[in-house]
Amino acid sequence: LSTRFSLAYLAFFGFMNVYALRVNLSVAILSMVNSTYMASHNNSNISGDTGEFNWDAHKRSLVLGAFFYGYILTQLPGGYLASRFGGKWLFGGGVLCTSVLTLLTPVAARTSFALLIVVRVLEGIGEGVTFPAMHAMWGSWAPPVDRSRLVSVTYAGSQFGTVVAQPISGILCASTFLGGWPSVFYVFGSLGVLWCIVWFIFAHSTPDKHPRISPAELHFIQSNVEPVFSSKDEVLSVPWWEIATSKRVWAISIAHFCNNWGFYTLLTCLPTYLKDVLKFDIQQDGFMSALPYLVMWITINLFGLLADYLRQHNILNTTQTRKTMNAIGLSFPFCCILHKRYLLNQQASAAISMICLATAFSGAAFSGFNTNHVDIGSRYAGILMGITNTWATIPGFAGPAVVGLLTEHNVSKDQWQIVFYISAAVYLFGVVAYTLLGTGKEQPWNKRNKMEEIGKKL
């Protein structure tokens, strides 16, 4: 019940909204698209409800990927602004922007395809600041002994948002409430606005600004976390060159990219796979798509507890903990994907079981590379997250584009096999690169006295 864990719980619901706003279209689009038109253009026998939009696989992939074209633009600016001015207003403002645009999505879609793409890009711009802003806050709030748990609890909201959004989206699409599929955007957009109000009232960028924190907790945090500023008048000086040439930062970037390639492929394309290959109807699609992320939500928190336990009891040091968790988080999905006979089996239970197993172990990566930014550079954690998440956003539009390219004219098990093999190869590369280059040690450029020396030389 400490203020730092209360912040983690509040941020958990924030990222729950962030991902609900992001993934609801993955389910809604199945009711939006004219399935008869899709079948005629894909030479397949896709059955289901007939939507109002005549979009082929290429257009559908553009809609799903457009979000990430905006998302990638505000990663680094978001990290810098959050580190300079604090993450509270930036994080809340980003979610508020996306929530309002989500409410406008049905109008945009019915107005023109181009306007829908613009709205999705703008939503990405709004959400692009969220992860860097929150990481900047943890750079000030998270002491080493609690770091894995705080970060894991926070970002587990992403998975829980997927768990909530996908089945509810399926139910809303299959209903007549507010016109069916438009209700998906009205419901989740409204929830996002409500959360923003709560966040603006109770969240604070740094511990010293929190009106209800106890003196003991404030002293504990400030004694264990490098302050971003030594005085109110100090201006943040960023060691851009040292960060850009740091092999430790590149290690996180590579692992982040590789993890997100597999994750985004499943996140944005799993509903399509379930319907086109395994022949699930729209309502089943929402529940079955959410199941792997329910499992992942649980394991993220369990691996966070395990990581901090290993460090607190000196079983493993920080570097060993991060590399172990990262290896588990990326290598087990790699092994699961290689067992393609389960993923491509016409019996859905076998395919879903293997996907659940892959996403369960993926939860370990949140205590690996995803917490590592704060370890190596807590003062610049938001900026570091902005850098690595910029690279990691590329799979957000490249993944669906590859899937669309491979399945546009041939929706078959053989084509999806290629998709899964590509993801497996990317996962393997991430494990090797991070193991060779990663570390859990604070870097010299994060230390204030070292930065003063660099400033004098310049």
Residues 181 and 330 in one domain: no
Confidence of residue 49 (pLDDT cuts 50, 70, 90): low
pLDDT(112) > 50: yes
Q: Please tell me what DSSP assigns to residue 412.
A: S
In contact, 369 and 436? CB cutoff 8 Å: no
- Classify residue 427: in a domain, yes or no: yes
Q: What is the pTM of this model?
A: 0.82
Owner of token pair 């957000």 = 396
Q: What is the mean pLDDT of residues 252-258?
A: 95
Residues 134 and 250 in one domain: no
Residues 175 and 73 in one domain: yes
**C-alpha to C-alpha distance for 396 and 405, rounded to whole angstroms:** 15
Residue 68's pLDDT is 81
Residues 251 and 103 in one domain: no
Confidence of residue 282 (pLDDT cuts 50, 70, 90): very low
pLDDT(280) > 90: no
Domain count, the chain: 2
pLDDT(278) > 80: no
Residues 242 and 359 in one domain: yes
Residues 333 and 413 in one domain: yes
Residue 424's pLDDT is 84
Rounded to 5 degrees, what are φ and ψ at 33?
Answer: -90, 140
- Classify residue 206: in a domain, yes or no: yes
- Classify residue 226: in a domain, yes or no: no
Residue 272's pLDDT is 66
Q: Please tell me what DSSP assigns to residue 228.
A: S
- Classify residue 219: in a domain, yes or no: no
Owner of token pair 């730092």 = 4
Confidence of residue 399 (pLDDT cuts 50, 70, 90): confident
CA 101 to chain centre: 19
Torsion of CA 175, 176, 181, 182, to 10 degrees: -140
pLDDT(235) > 80: no
Residues 344 and 399 in one domain: yes
The CA-atom distances, in angstroms, between 33 and each of 36, 185, 346, 412 are: 9, 16, 24, 19
Range of the domain at 380: 236-457
**C-alpha to C-alpha distance for 144 and 224, rounded to whole angstroms:** 7
Residue 199's pLDDT is 95
Residue 69's pLDDT is 85
Residues 203 and 262 in one domain: no
- Classify residue 222: in a domain, yes or no: no
Which tops the pLDDT comparison, 48 or 129?
A: 129
Q: Which of 175, 210, 245 is where one domain is finished?
A: 210
Residues 150 and 19 in one domain: yes
Residues 311 and 453 in one domain: yes
Residues 204 and 294 in one domain: no
Q: Which of 162, 193, 210 is where one domain is finished?
A: 210
CATH assignment of the domain containing 132: 1.20.1250.20
Residue 283's pLDDT is 46
Residues in the chain: 458
- Classify residue 367: in a domain, yes or no: yes
- Classify residue 289: in a domain, yes or no: yes
Structure-token pair, residue 321: 């903990």
Residues 266 and 194 in one domain: no
Mean pLDDT over the full length of the chain: 83
- Classify residue 46: in a domain, yes or no: no
